[in-house]
Amino acid sequence: MTNISELGTATALQTADLVRRGEVSALEVCDAAIDRIESRDGPINAVVVRDFERARASARSIDTSRTKEDERPLLGVAMTVKESNDVCGLPTTWGFTEFADYTPEQDAVAVERLKAAGAVILGKTNAPVALADWQTVNPVYGRTVNPHDHARSPGGSSGGAGAALAAGMVPLELGSDIGGSIRIPANFCGVYGHKPTYGVIPLQGHGFPGTDGVDVPLAVVGPLARSAKDLTTALSVMSGSAVPGWKLDMKPPRHRELEEYRVLVLPGDGLPPVADDVATAINEFVKSLDDAGVDIAMHADGLPDFSVAQANYVAMLTAITTRGTPGAEPIDAHAWMDLVDAQMRLQRQWNEVFRDFDIVLAPTASSTAFPHMDEPDWHDRPYTVNGERVNYGVQVFWAGLATYPGLPSTAMPLSTSAEGLPTGLQALGGQFEDLTTLKFAELVEQAGLTLDPAASISR
């Protein structure tokens, strides 16, 4: 690749390969990414913390130390991370003005591992206050918009991450997810995202500003990218225990060929409504899988009671996200243990489902990206599906499918709606079978069955 402008559509792995072969320097990659951010981000407001001089220094260090045998998988890849991930010397505010001056003194474990793999961190991308919305706006950095339609949300809470990828600023991002915060921005912005199995990537350095307690139950950090294979590489780089004596032994992909997969499409009966354009995209994708020889099932015995699972998930999520906030109603230890018991039972139910199926497909969200909404009370937000007003919080159902039982889920872009907005779905897998959902995403991407995120990027 001799045209630096083409780096804007290159994947992370393609970029690292170019640097490794000496076709482009890490500094050229870094400078090109900085140029893209400076020329494109003005109206989007995705990259809200910029650390360009230190990034250039890191890139120069890579160039001076690199050898032909350098096997670092992300060699010279210029990327950004969600604002809630600690980077030494940069602010971590979670959108709170009270923490505008809080600057951690060490990197999050995930950030540290990305750097060790050769990545160059350009700065941080925007997130909503407390990471608690499917929009991305806060009083510290303002609002981030969707590159496909500036009047609409990029999703949240990793909305800045999704927007930076969709606009071609960077090829790889680090987000976090407890209520769809990786998957919904990936869906709304037309890119890939992976919510790992709970516990696969250490959470140290991704906590409420100034705290250093236990890992937050349900919460994960994970990658977003414009290529499924980039997700796999980033996951492999960041995963593994940070505690001596524990070793992660990730299960390999169940299959290497698309037609070998057994896929269950989650039945729609009794579930939240899904917009027609989203349902159509999913149905067309399923038909394409069927045509490709994939074993498709539309019904299954032994599925969990989703209404019960949803109620328990919301109760646990509420206890986690309101802990320590003024006026929050505490939960007693027995009630908490009841939720943990229900969570374990749910995991066992899903384990049985994944004896018969390799992948479960479900919507990532009830709709495509929605218009910006400023009403502080979610009940007042005019969110609609197929012209009918529904509860704004309905999105949490689709997030909870994987979050409450701690399952891996890979979000994939499918197509564009009549309004030009990305559609997508999520592929759920069994516990610690992240490589199965990721391989499935890679295979459908290779088969041309998904949306190419680079196609809408202007060079």
- 82 flagged as catalytic: yes
Q: CATH 3.90.1300.10 in the chain: give the residue spans.
A: 4-238, 258-447
Answer yes or no: is pLDDT of 213 > 80: no
61 is annotated as an active-site residue: no
What is the arithmetic mean of pLDDT over 304-312? 97
- Give the per-residue pLDDT at 324: 65
Given 84, 153, 176, 181, which residue is catalytic? Answer: 181
Which runs of E-coded beta strand occur in 312-370? 359-363
The single residue of 84, 153, 157, 415 carrying the catalytic annotation is 157
Query: 287 an active-site residue?
Result: no
Classify residue 262 as left (phi > 0), alpha (psi -120 to 50) or beta: beta
Span 298-308, average pLDDT: 96
CA 212 to CA 433: how far, in whole Å? 29
What Å distances lie between residue 175 and 3, 27, 314, 366, 450, CA to CA? 30, 24, 21, 21, 22
Which pTM value belongs to this model?
0.98
Tell me which H or E stretch contains 123. strand 120-125
Q: Residue 325's pLDDT is what? A: 66
Rounded mean pLDDT, 55-62: 99
- Residue 326: per-residue pLDDT: 66
Cβ count near 451 (within 10 Å): 20
Topology, domain 4-238: Amidase signature (AS) enzymes (3.90.1300)
Q: Is the predicted pLDDT of residue 212 greater than 80, yes or no?
A: no
Beta bridge partners of 50: 123
Q: How confident is the prediction for the chain on average, in pLDDT?
A: 96
pLDDT the model gives residue 328: 77
With pLDDT > 70 as the criterion, what percentage of the chain qualifies? 98
**202 phi/psi in degrees, rounded to 5:** -60, 145
From CA 151, how far away is CA 133, in angstroms rounded?
Answer: 17
pLDDT category of residue 4 using cuts at 50, 70 and 90:
confident
- What's the pLDDT at 270? 86
pLDDT above 90 for 323: no
Nearest CA to 67 out of 13, 32, 3, 118 is that of: 118
Mean pLDDT, residues 108-117: 99
- Is the domain 258-447 a CATH 3.90.1300.10 member? yes
Instruction: For residues 244 and 249, give the distance between their C-alpha atoms in angstroms, rounded to a whole number.
Output: 14
Burial code (b: 16+ CB inside 10 Å, e: under 16) for 221-257 equals bbbbbbbbbbbbbbbbbbbbeeeeeeeeebeebbbee
- Identify the active-site residue in 58, 82, 409, 415: 82
Please say whether the dihedral angle defined by the alpha carbons of residues 201, 366, 165 and 233, taken in this order, is positive or negative: positive
- pLDDT of residue 214 exceeding 80, the answer is no
Taking the C-alpha atoms of residue 26 and residue 321, their distance in angstroms, rounded to an integer, is 40
pLDDT per residue over 410-440, tens digit each? 999 999 999 999 999 999 999 999 999 999 9
Spatial distance between the Cα atoms of 55 and 149, rounded to a whole number of angstroms? 30
Q: Which of 2-16, 206-220, 329-343 has the highest mean pLDDT?
A: 329-343
